Structures are given as C-alpha cells and as structure tokens.
Amino acid sequence: MGKSEAGSILALIEAIITFVVAAIILIVGVIFLTIPAATAEIQKEGLTVGFIFAFFLIAASIVFVIGYFKLYASKLMKSPKTTLKGGIIALVLGIVSGGLLCIIGGILGIVEGSNK
C-alpha cells in the first residue's frame, strides 16, 4: 500500500475549485440581495428576496461541504494506510459533483491504495 501523491494533488485542486464556486454562488446571492432592480424583478414574480438569498446561501453551503470532503479525501490519500479510503471518497464525490479532476485523483488513489 502506497500513498498517492498525484491523486492527492488532483483532489486538492478540485477542492480549491469547489471552494471558489461556493464563494461565487454566495456572491451572486448577495448581489441579488443588494441590487434594487433585481429585488424589484424578484418581487414581481411573487417571491421574497429573503427566499432567493436563502436559496443561494443553502446552495453555497452544500457546495462548501462537498469541497471540504474533497479536501479531506486529499489529505487521506497522503497517508499509505488511508490511501484507498481517500480514493474511494474522492471518486464518489467527483461523480456526485461532476469534478473530473477528483474522479481522476480518486482512481489514482484507489489504484495506489490497492497495490501491495
């Protein structure tokens, strides 16, 4: 069993990208909250501004949690004892979130973790 340095780096890059996406989602929610023209359009549709902001806040939180678990998988792949576990976590999260780098990193982690 060996550690997967390449898989760990790919999962780490994907985690950073996911954190940036979460920040962008949160910024878009704040923009919708602060721009008067956007709030007027939202209220015309019968929605409240708080509902729209809550939607963006929940979406950003979910994406942030996914990014955190990608970071956790990256750290697991650095240890020879937990490389396989980190690879499986990275692969599942990559499939769920559509992150190609995380999928590749997870596959590398599984391959390195299963080698004896």
Per-10-residue mean pLDDT of the chain, 116 residues long, equals 85 96 93 74 71 89 96 93 93 93 94 83
pLDDT at 44: 74
- Dihedral sign, CA of 78, 14, 107, 59? positive
pLDDT of residue 50: 75
pLDDT of residue 29: 87
String of DSSP letters for 35-51: -HHHHHHHHHTT--HHH
Q: What is the pLDDT of residue 104?
A: 95
